[in-house]
Amino acid sequence: MILVLLVCLPFAGSLAATILLRTDSRVLAARMSGAVTLAALVLTASLYPAVRAGGKVRLDLEWLPQLGLNVTLRMDGFAWLFAMLITGIGFLVVLYARYYMSEEDPVPRFFSFLLAFMGSMLGIVLSGNIILLSVFWELTSIFSFLLISYWHHNAAARDGARMALTITGIGGFCLLAGLLVLGHIVGSYDLDVVLASGDLIKAHPLYLTALVLILIGALTKSAQVPFHFWLPNAMAAPTPVSAYLHSATMVKAGVFLLVRFWPALSGTYEWFMLVGIAGISTLLLGAYFAMFQQDLKGLLAYSTISHLGLITTLLSLGSPLAAVAAIFHMMNHATFKASLFMAAGIIDHETGTRDMRRLSGLLKYLPITGTLAMVASAAMAGVPLLNGFISKEMFFAEAVETHADSVLDRILPYVATLAGAFSVAYSLRFIHMVFFGPEPTDLPKPKPHEPPHWMRFPIEFLVLACLVVGIIPSLSIGPFLHSAVVSVLGDRTPEYSLAVWHGINTPLIMSLIALVGGGALYFVMKDYLAKCDDGPPLFRHLGGQRIFERVLVTVSWKWARWLESNLGTRHLQPQLRLIAAAGFLAGAVSLYLAGFSPKPLSFDDIDPIFAAVWCIGAFCALGAAYQAKYHRLAALVLLGGAGITTCITFVWLSAPDLAITQLVVEIVTTVLLLLGLRWLPKRSEKVDNSVSFAARSRRFRDFLLAISCGFGMFLFSYAIMTQPVPDAIASYFLDKAYSEGGGRNVVNVILVDFRGFDTMGEIAVLAIVALTVFALLRRFRPAPDSIEKPEQQRIQNAFDAERPERSAGDTVRDYLLVPSVIMQWMFPVIATFSVYLIMRGHDLPGGGFAAGITMAIAFLLQYLAGGVRWAEDRLRILPLRWMGFGLLMSAMTGMGAWLFGYPFLTTHSQYIEVPFIGKVPAASALLFDLGVFSLVVGATVLILIALAHQSVRMHRVRSLDAPKAEEA
Amino acid sequence: MELVLAIGIGIMTGSGVWLILRPRTYQVIIGLSLLSYAVNLFIFGVGGVKSNAAPLLGEGVDVSTLTDPVPQALVLTAIVIGFATTALFLVVLLAARGLTGTDHVDGREQPK
């Protein structure tokens, strides 16, 4: 349980910090983060007894056990050591950042990201499931991106963050793929199982694939050549971020992974070559590049790259002793490098620059910080009596040993010594240029002074750690290191001794050569280095960064543009053409592959009347297609004809419910389109009669496509309909409709009972559409040429104006007088009919949908008969209330079942005796249907009325548009 | 029976597809309506084509002779939703015509 708490605590702290975003206090967020980190540190420390001497703490939570994906957290000695590093240095960094961040920065955001990063990092370390590990791995990439780009107004920060995210993101993707392959080999994603099956993995044909993918993940994260270039660019981050992510934690995740999978993957020739080449070249190149940096943090970044290369090299050797040295050096490097980053931050903070060419002689102003930095860089250089010396000696000792006889192995001692000399040179340069020499002359902040004590405290603590570990290693770090080593190596744990003095031996001589050689190198090259500002010689033109940027531009800009301009279109017609063609092909190809052959046509049972009806229907459909461009009204009438044909078909083929619904929907659709016609532009056949060849061929193509689709649908539907209907679920509904649903109209019972939840979703869609229509029409601006009153109205008004005995609007009022009186009188009749439809819906054709639209038609007729104003003077319809009532009603009916302990939307049915009417079925489904009814009324009326209102709104629209036109 | 209905579905589909490929929004809305008739009839037809066998239970009616109610229930909601989407499309096309001044589906006239 403590493990879950440990992982969740930083994330919780991160969320809490976001709440503090609005507060002015910058101390509060820091204090909160400090408390969270300290709590995590204490929690981790308290687990030590459980992990000592090879013990393990494990926690399993099932997540997706079917896929072998579980939340497994495990802590062993190695994970414990790393968790201590993460929480311990995390606490120091929070303390440091409290003083480092300035008043203007949004500090809570910084701490929020930092804590979230800490949580992800702990997640990596504690994951006992390799997929979970990959999830946390991605999280660290994302939070590192956010932290590097914390000062997002700075272009360098944005670019650096993007580069880091791209590189580590690609690495993370490869890692996930590699871990999936690994899981496939082993048959489990559990870390313990994976670690126990090293021999199986190494013998598997997919071993190399998994290895390469995992290595890409680890090497990108740990900034190894050739992926190293993101790290120097990430130095645009605030210094606490660099101290935390780029020395102690994130970059260590890569080598952590290598150590974690060391028992399972290492020891093969492929491992040695791949990891070794990357490690050795990184070790050497990083140290070499570091010498030529002018930026303090740039020097430290390359030095970090080089030290990570050292660790990688150690791991490549595959010997247990080398693994011990690697784990030990990880800890040592974290301590001295974090303190150096913090020191660089203090220098930057106090002087305003990190450029070593401008800094000089600072020891006078920053005596304590200077001394601390000197000790830390001595540790970095590997000076005796400091922790860096011990692990470097172990490295030299391993370098001398022969592990796998190859060129790589034979040159290793020389490379190691050379890299050691380089690291002495750059450490010396760091100290000498910054703290010694003449008085600084052109500092942005002229009077540097020591920072507040608590800002320096983390450095003091870390430097003290360097000294203690360096002088009495076996008493200080010894037992903790041992439990870590045992947890990784198990029974392969070698004999090793953590002592300062091993007598005069080859490693010591190598160390001495490196120290003397590095010192000499620096003093020879001192003047050249101070002036050199275009990067290290020999490698000036070989920029991984430049290649990266070129690839990025090519992929994300050139190729994307090419694809967009060659494959994209902003026209609707080609898209629809493609969709229609794809639909046709998808149907045709799959039918062809399934061995479809058209059925022989049978002309036996054709009813002449039905055929005649469909002759009319076909004529209407074709006519609508032909007339829709120039004769919209005719097309609308023909569309109605096709709709009526459909309706008759439903009646004919035993679907009375559908027929009723189709009929009423047909009416409202026609009215709706009629209302819309008013706002469309005039189009006359004479305007564009010049048809180009291209247009003609386009039409011909569309025509062919339409014919193919139509013919295909004909063959397909004929084949389906002549097939005997398999007994699927129909009989179930037919059997249970009365016994369980209490209704005789099976279609209605399905809608309101068996599939009631679907229906609820559908009426919700209807409500949403109605509201969208309403919202769109509130802001409706017609095109200028549609604003004028229609021709008919103008003639009528002119007629009224000419005659003195008539007042304006008389003709409109008298228009179709008899029909409108009849329509007005029809209102109660239709309303009663709609009530009748809903009441009988459960047993006979009818139901909420049909009744609702019928009711809407009743309202609509009043609008048609008397006009908008007349209708609204007499009738106040509140469609929104109808809709709200409908939704509530159906939802409450559904929830009512809960009161009786049944699932949502369970219905109850019985018959009740109503005076004068007789026995009436009263299922609770009727209430549900009432909700459907109410919503359908509301939605339909809302849509139609909103559209109808546009004609009345005319004047306001024009007066609003007029001043705009003047402005323009 | 099946033959007539299948021909009808084919003709409606063809007309609908032709219309949705046209450049004017009004043509597209008519085309979509025709297509939805065709699709509704098709789904309905999948359940088998029978006359005088409406899925209404009564005394002494043999349940197995009735037509399949499931496609009917599907189509019934489809008809209502079809109305709603037609309305939405109509309003969108009117608003687009108001904004762009043209009823071309791309919001601008095709260059000649």
Could you tell me if A343 and A247 are in contact, meaning their C-beta atoms sit under 8 angstroms apart?
A: no
- Measured CA to CA, the distance from residue A29 to residue A648 in angstroms comes to 72
Contact with chain B for residue A704, Cβ under 8 A? no
Contact with chain B for residue A747, Cβ under 8 A? yes
Q: Can you give the pLDDT at residue A269?
A: 87
In the 3-class helix/strand/coil scheme, how is A772-813 assigned residue by residue? Answer: HHHHHHHCCCCCHHHHCCCHHHHHHHHHHHHCCCCCCCHHHH
Contact with chain B for residue A634, Cβ under 8 A? no
The nearest alpha carbon in chain B to A717 belongs to B6
Q: Taking Cα atoms as reference points, which of A704, A726, A724, A718 lies closest to residue A597?
A: A718
At residue A913, φ and ψ (nearest 5 deg) are -90, 120
Of A625, A762, A780, the CB nearest to B95: A780
- Strands A69-75 and A911-914 turn out to be unpaired
- Strands A57-64 and A911-914 turn out to be unpaired
Across the interface, whether the CB atoms of A783 and B101 are under 8 A apart is answered yes
**Chain A positions in Cβ-Cβ contact with residue B86 (cut-off 8 Å):** 669, 672-673
What is the per-residue pLDDT across A416-446, written as a single tens digit (0 to 9) for each?
999 999 999 999 999 988 888 888 877 888 7
- Measured CA to CA, the distance from residue A462 to residue A787 in angstroms comes to 79
- Measured CA to CA, the distance from residue A256 to residue A137 in angstroms comes to 12
What is the per-residue pLDDT across A184-193, written as a single tens digit (0 to 9) for each?
999 889 999 9
Percent of all residues in chain A with a pLDDT value above 90, rounded to a whole number:
38
**Chain A positions in Cβ-Cβ contact with residue B98 (cut-off 8 Å):** 679, 780-783, 786
What is the per-residue pLDDT across A892-910, written as a single tens digit (0 to 9) for each?
888 888 888 787 777 777 7
Lowest average pLDDT, out of A236-245, A640-649, A698-707, B96-105, goes to B96-105
Residues 469-528 of A with CB under 8 A from B: none
Give me A86's structure tokens: 């993460």
How many CB atoms within 10 Å of residue A214?
A: 25
Would the pLDDT of A656 be above 50?
yes
Of A679, A730, A940, the CB nearest to B68: A730
Residues 157-196 of A with CB under 8 A from B: none
The nearest alpha carbon in chain B to A847 belongs to B76
Q: Can you give the pLDDT at residue A344?
A: 92
Of A570, A717, A746, the CB nearest to B42: A717
Could you tell me if A860 and A948 are in contact, meaning their C-beta atoms sit under 8 angstroms apart?
A: no
Across the interface, whether the CB atoms of B5 and A649 are under 8 A apart is answered yes
Q: Can you give the pLDDT at residue A533?
A: 65
Q: Can you give the pLDDT at residue A615?
A: 94
Burial of residue A942, with CB atoms counted within 10 A of its CB: 0-12 exposed, 13-18 middle, 19 or more buried: buried
Q: Can you give the pLDDT at residue A780?
A: 82
Across the interface, whether the CB atoms of B69 and A706 are under 8 A apart is answered no
Give me A537's structure tokens: 């010689």
Burial of residue B56, with CB atoms counted within 10 A of its CB: 0-12 exposed, 13-18 middle, 19 or more buried: buried
Contact with chain B for residue A936, Cβ under 8 A? yes
- Measured CA to CA, the distance from residue A708 to residue A689 in angstroms comes to 27
What is the band of A134 on the pLDDT scale with cuts at 50, 70, 90? very high
Single-letter amino acid code for the residue at A710: G
Would the pLDDT of B1 be above 90?
no
Across the interface, whether the CB atoms of A766 and B81 are under 8 A apart is answered yes
CB-based contacts of A901: which residues, under 8 Å, 6+ apart?
none
Q: Taking Cα atoms as reference points, which of A209, A117, A220 lies closest to residue A166?
A: A220
Would the pLDDT of B63 be above 80?
no
CA distance A662 to chain B (A): 7
**Mean model confidence pLDDT for chain A:** 86
Structural domains of chain B, ranges and CATH numbers in brackets: 2-49+68-100 (1.10.287)
Alpha helices of A436-540 — where are they, by DSSP H?
Answer: 453-471, 473-476, 478-489, 506-531
- pLDDT average, residue stretch A598-615: 85
Of residues A781 and A664, which shows the higher confidence score? A664
Of residues A48 and A2, which shows the higher confidence score? A48
Single-letter amino acid code for the residue at A51: V
What is the band of A53 on the pLDDT scale with cuts at 50, 70, 90? confident
Instruction: Find residue A71's DSSP bridge partners.
Output: A61
What is the per-residue pLDDT across A485-508, written as a single tens digit (0 to 9) for each?
888 888 888 888 887 777 788 888
In the 3-class helix/strand/coil scheme, how is A43-72 assigned residue by residue? Answer: HHHHCHHHHHHHCCEEEEEEEEHHHCEEEE
Would the pLDDT of A607 be above 60?
yes
Q: ipTM value of the model?
A: 0.95
Would the pLDDT of A688 be above 80?
no
What is the band of A115 on the pLDDT scale with cuts at 50, 70, 90? very high
What is the per-residue pLDDT across A247-258, written as a single tens digit (0 to 9) for each?
888 999 999 999
Would the pLDDT of A214 be above 90?
yes
Across the interface, whether the CB atoms of A714 and B6 are under 8 A apart is answered yes
Across the interface, whether the CB atoms of B83 and A940 are under 8 A apart is answered yes
What is the per-residue pLDDT across A852-874, written as a single tens digit (0 to 9) for each?
999 999 998 888 888 888 888 88
The nearest alpha carbon in chain A to B40 belongs to A646
Of residues B111 and A349, which shows the higher confidence score? A349
CA distance B29 to chain A (A): 9
**Chain A positions in Cβ-Cβ contact with residue B36 (cut-off 8 Å):** none
CB-based contacts of A837: which residues, under 8 Å, 6+ apart?
A660, A846, A847, A850, A851, A854
CA distance A841 to chain B (A): 11
Q: Can you give the pLDDT at residue A744?
A: 84
Q: Taking Cα atoms as reference points, which of B84, B81, B86 lies closest to residue B40?
A: B81
Q: Can you give the pLDDT at residue A538?
A: 64
User: Coil, strand or helix: which one is A322?
Assistant: helix
- Using N-to-C axis directions, what is the helix angle for B69-100 and A656-677, rounded to 10°? 0
In the 3-class helix/strand/coil scheme, how is A590-651 assigned residue by residue? Answer: HHHHCCCCCCCCCCCCCCHHHHHHHHHHHHHHHHHHHHCCCCHHHHHHHHHHHHHHHHHHHH
- B48 vs A719, A720, A735, A902, CA distance in Å? 11, 8, 18, 35
**Chain A positions in Cβ-Cβ contact with residue B4 (cut-off 8 Å):** 606-607, 610-611, 614
What is the per-residue pLDDT across A836-851, written as a single tens digit (0 to 9) for each?
998 888 888 888 899 9
What is the band of A958 on the pLDDT scale with cuts at 50, 70, 90? very low
- pLDDT average, residue stretch A699-709: 92
What is the band of A711 on the pLDDT scale with cuts at 50, 70, 90? very high
**DSSP of B33-76:** HHHHHHHHHHHHHHT---SS--SB--TT--GGGSPPHHHHHHHH
- pLDDT average, residue stretch A607-619: 92
- pLDDT average, residue stretch A148-161: 90
- Measured CA to CA, the distance from residue B57 to residue A747 in angstroms comes to 11
Q: Can you give the pLDDT at residue A404?
A: 67
Across the interface, whether the CB atoms of A769 and B88 are under 8 A apart is answered yes
What is the per-residue pLDDT across A730-785, written as a single tens digit (0 to 9) for each?
788 888 888 877 788 888 888 888 888 889 999 999 999 999 999 988 878 877 77
What is the band of A37 on the pLDDT scale with cuts at 50, 70, 90? very high
Lowest average pLDDT, out of A228-232, A724-728, A773-777, B93-97, goes to A724-728
Q: Can you give the pLDDT at residue B49?
A: 83
Q: Can you give the pLDDT at residue A19?
A: 81
Would the pLDDT of A968 be above 50?
no
User: Coil, strand or helix: which one is A269?
Assistant: helix
Percent of all residues in chain A with a pLDDT value above 70, rounded to a whole number:
95
What is the per-residue pLDDT across A784-826, written as a single tens digit (0 to 9) for each?
777 777 777 788 888 888 887 777 777 777 778 888 889 889 9
Would the pLDDT of A960 be above 50?
no
Q: Can you give the pLDDT at residue A798?
A: 82
- Measured CA to CA, the distance from residue A926 to residue A745 in angstroms comes to 13
